[in-house]
Structure 1
Amino acid sequence: MTGGPLEGVRVLEVAMYGFVPSAGGVLADWGADVVKIEHAVHGDPQRGLRQTGRMRVEGDPNPNFEHANRGKRSVGLDISAPEGREVLYELARRSDVFLTSFLPGHRRRFGIDVDDVRAVNPKIIYARGSALGPRGPEAERGGYDMTAFWARAGTAASITPPDIEGLINPPGPAYGDTISGTNLAGGIAAALVRLGRTGEPSVVDVSLLGSGVWSMGHGITLSAHLGESMEASETGAHGSPANPLVGLYRTSDGRYLSLVMLQPAKFWADVCRHVDRPDLVDDPRFATGELIAANTGQAVEILREVIATRTLAEWAERFATLSGPWAPVQDSLQVVDDGQVRANEYMVRAGEMRLAASPVQFDVRSAAAGPAPGFAAQTEEVLLEAGLTWERIIELKTSGAVT
């Protein structure tokens, strides 16, 4: 992204899979020069992820890799070899941020822990993403968004109806990874501000577990205060036991509308007119907010019956002037063609692909995303910029230290 707020910031990423690389992808969207270090032979294992549920990707580009690695440059480097590690240190000397997903034991083994990197660049921001946080008895353990973010942090149990066996899975690949990666990118941006103001570099930590707790923060706070767990309603239950204007309604073509009007008395008359039931406006059963709450079951049945008479498209046209909040329930393919998504550039072109834009806009524009790099595609370019000669690069290639 030319002219982005992080233009001129250099990020050295030593990370794999979805979580931490998605933080690097956001930083690249914001204008940073992100150099991704990949295994000299195998690259990031995410490149080989082709099957996601029932969806399979053949050939390149691969959306499973592009999403988190937009706009970066790739260097193939064997950091287990002394020569490769020296190259990494040379790149760290000229970087502002060191970004890693490696577990503590691997960081120590490869010589890329905080003290190792700060020894060659005392002012570098050291940012690390973990599964379960940097402290405690499980700090050395790894994990994925399914385990640490989704299952352990409370979301899965909170949304799974009591009549469903097991747990509802995350709605899509890298769901918790992407949320957590955006948190990490924001933390790095704050650390850059601190560095600029005070000259003090930070160690930035974000974990999947911590991000999951934050995402469920309202519900977990309620549980801590009341001493009871948050439980989902049974399958098919209306969204609120005391508000007919909070819940899902099925249309004649099998689609759904989501109504979320937290002040039912304020919106009741408007909804009745929009569904061609003005007689309900003065119905004594629904004359006040208290009566609407008390007679929610009857109101829900009436609205279910009337909304089932028209298609989603017909209701969308009618509800264009509805004063209360509502939305069509859309699947992932329908989101791609949503007019409001297009108008706000929430999908952007990156090479051959359309990618979801990272969520922060500057000056009312989405950041322009670049395509993800080919494996080790910028190795020579980056090493030459770091001051290595062609002769030295050839030596490193011959030894296998670089791709």
Structure 2
Amino acid sequence: MNDVLAGIKVIEVAGWTFVPSAGAVLAEWGADVIKVEPLTGDPQRGLVTSGLVPAGAGGVNYMMEVPNRGKRSIGIDLSTEGGRDLLLALVRQADVFLTSYLPNVRRKLGIDVDDLRAVNPDVIYVRGSGYGPRGPDVDTPGFDGVSYWARGGVADALTPPEADFPVGGRPAFGDVMGGMALAGGICAALLARERNGAASVVDVSLLGLALWNLGPDVAAAKLYEGVELPSFRRDEPPNPLVAYYRTADDRQICLMMLQSDRYWPDLCRHLGLDGSIADPRYADAAARFHNRAELYRLLSETFASRTYAQWRDTLATLAGPWSGMQTAAELHDDPAALANGYLATLTATSGAAFELAANPVQFDETPASPSGAPEHGQHTEEILLDLGLGWDDIDRHKQQGDIL
């Protein structure tokens, strides 16, 4: 079952990808997630019309679908008295309020913690930010490119010293991981509320997420500050069984055999290097380290003798950890991804069918089966009718400019 959060209502006042991706995860786990959008819509919707994101076949706005699948959308102008009243009415029935708005905006709109707790003391208030709820940058806008990738040290950690330009991040790289962190925090808060009745305020920042992702680097940075650590050239790895090797057709094979003594004989047999198993130059980890440049050349020449497909078949029975370096397109045909339902098939509002990555958490071995992202304000009337408003009330709010 994937409806572990059935009966939980989430009100999301957030844009772009980071915080909305948490709502998408909660929706895949069965929660009713209502996305409250300004009358102009989530700015993420504009990436297609601006040309920054090309529209896919059938007009699929994949950057909108990824963090917003499975939700209902209502268009509300929170700057009007009537719009704010409607939001408060939604919050009265909610378990979770999820927002990416900065403190100064939340105070201006009257949707900060105390404002919402005044109408629903039990609501779990959840904030996603660039730099956390305290300190000098609480009102500084954050995106994963600056807060997570650049300031968080990720770009520096992944950029080779000899590179002329920093390694760039992929779209929403930190955002979607941050969404999973938020979703986990929300579930913990729901459990705590059930057990002790206390409603928590949950915070995740992109900067904090970057530190978590770089945990070993961050811990070592100060421990070894001022100490000159050994460095190794790419073609002289300290353990040649942990390295990338180029194939005859210019693809890459990754070996990750940290227990090199355990896997060395089996690797040699699979590579047709039986004579190297007992070769004193490579017989144990210490010998392989001493002769690492020579061994790397031997393995490089061996892998360069066959194509990627040939090595994939040859290494299928290899005991040690290894993999081919795949493209995003190849993931759509990965047998493990297909067998486990890691790709979900959705239908966009345009009617086009497409695949995207489901969130990786499964319950009782059941793959997620999300619906597509809503159109801007698609469920406005439906949600207001659920609140108990009549059509005359809805029409009045439209005439006042409170709703889409």
Deviation sequence 1:165-201 (CA, Å, 0-9, x none)? 131001x211110011110011001000001111100
Change over 3 Å in CA distance of 1:55–1:119 after alignment to 2: closer
Taking the aligned partners of 1:4 and 1:157, their CA distance within structure 2 comes to 40
CA distance in 2, matches of 1:143, 1:198: 34
Indicate if the aligned counterparts of 2:155 and 2:166 stay in contact, CA closer than 8 A.
Answer: yes
User: Given the alignment of the two structures, is residue 356 of structure 1 paired with residue 357 of structure 2, yes or no?
Assistant: yes
Matches within 5 A, 1:91-102: 91-102=90-101
State the superposition RMSD in angstroms.
2.0
**Which residue of the other structure, out of 273, 291, 294, is the alignment partner of 1:295?**
291
2:171 paired residue among 169, 173, 177: 173
Q: 1:193 aligns with which of 191, 194, 199?
A: 191
Residue type of the partner of 1:358?
N
- In structure 2, what is the equivalent of residue 213 of structure 1? 211
Q: Cα distance 1:232–1:399, how it changes in 2: closer, same or farther (>3 A)?
A: farther
SS across alignment from 2:281 = helix
**Could you tell me whether the CA contact under 8 Å between 1:223 and 1:230 is conserved in 2?**
no
In structure 2, the residue matched to 1:321 is 317
Q: Quick one: distance in 2 between partners of 1:191 and 1:354?
A: 31
Letter in structure 2 aligned against 1:293 = F
User: Could you give the per-residue CA deviations for residues 113-158 of structure 1, whole angstroms, max 9, x where no partner exists?
Assistant: 0000111100000001000000011111111000011111111001
Deviations 1:46-93 (A, max 9, x none): 011128999622563310100000100000000000000000000000
Q: How far apart are 1:392 and its partner, in Å? A: 0.3
Seq. identity, %:
45
The separation in 2 between residues aligned to 1:296 and 1:64, in whole angstroms, is 44
After superposing the two structures, state which structure 1 stretch, 286-295 or 198-207, moved more. Answer: 286-295
Query: What is the deviation of 1:31?
Result: 0.4
1:205 partner SS = strand
- Contact 1:80–1:110 (CA under 8 A) maintained in structure 2: yes
Please list every run of 5 or more consecutive structure 1 residues that lacks an aligned counterpart in the other structure: none
2:78 partner amino acid: I
Which residue of the partner structure matches residue 249 of structure 2?
253
Q: Distance in 2 between matches of 1:272 and 1:108?
A: 65
**2:270 is equivalent to residue 274 of structure 1:** yes
Are 1:386 and 2:382 an aligned pair?
no
- The one-letter amino acid paired with 1:366 is P
Q: Which amino acid aligns with 1:49?
A: L
For 2:25 and 2:391, locate their aligned partners in 1 and report how far apart those are by CA, in whole Å: 32
Note the C-alpha offset of 1:99.
0.2
Amino acid at match of 1:237: R
The amino acid across from 1:26 in the alignment is V
**AA partner of residue 201 (structure 2):** V
Q: Does 1:203 align with 2:204?
A: no
1:83 aligns with 2:82: yes
Amino acid at match of 2:113: V
2:237–2:243: 8 Å Cα contact kept in structure 1? no
Structure 1 residue 353: Cα displacement:
2.2
2:2–2:366 contact (8 Å) kept in structure 1: no
Distance 1:161 1:297 in 2: 20
- The SS at the match of 1:132 is coil
Give 2:89's aligned amino acid: E
Residue 160 of structure 1: CA displacement? 0.5
Q: Deviations over 1:326-354 (max 9, x none)?
A: 01101211112211111111111122221
Q: Give the ranges of 4+ consecutive aligned residues of structure 1 lying more than 3 Å apart after TM superposition.
A: 51-55, 228-234
Q: 1:344 aligns with which of 340, 359, 380?
A: 340
Partner of residue 6, structure 1: 5
Residues 233, 5 of structure 1: alpha-carbon distance in 2 compared, 3 angstrom cutoff: farther
Rounded Cα–Cα distance in structure 1 between residues aligned with 2:143 and 2:258: 35
Partner Cα separation in structure 1 for residue 356 and residue 281 of structure 2: 49
Cα distance in structure 2, aligned partners of 1:51 and 1:256: 37
Q: Which residue is 1:237 aligned to?
A: 234
Instruction: Indicate yes or no: 2:17 matched with 1:21.
Output: no
- Tell me the amino acid that sits aligned with residue 321 of structure 1: T
Q: Take 2:83 and 2:388, find their aligned partners in 1: how far apart are those partners?
A: 15
Contact 1:73 1:378 in 2 (8 A): yes
1:257-279 Cα shifts (integer Å, max 9, x gaps):
01000011111111111011101
Counterparts of 2:400 and 2:248, CA distance in 1: 67
What per-residue deviation string (whole Å, max 9, x for no partner) do you get for residues 271-307 of structure 1? 1110111010111101222111111111110000010
Q: Are residue 223 (structure 1) and residue 221 (structure 2) matched?
A: yes
Distance in 2 (CA, whole Å) between partners of 1:55 and 1:232 is: 43
Query: CA 1:361/1:251 → structure 2, altered by over 3 Å: closer, same or farther?
Result: same
Aligned partners of 1:111 and 1:53: how far apart in 2? 34
| Distance (Å, rounded) in 2 between the aligned partners of 1:169 and 1:4 | 37
For 1:217-270, what per-residue CA distance to the aligned partner results, in whole angstroms no more than 9, with x for missing partners? 111111132226999979x814x7320100100001110001000011111111
C-alpha contact 1:252 1:312 (8 A) present in aligned 2: yes
Q: Distance in 1 between matches of 2:363 and 2:219?
A: 32
In structure 2, give the amino acid aligned to 1:148: S
* 1:45 paired residue number: 43
Distance across 2 between alignment mates of 1:372 and 1:385: 20
- What is residue 350 of structure 2 aligned with on the other side? none
Distance 2:238 2:229 in 1: 17
> TM-score, normalising length from structure 2?
0.95
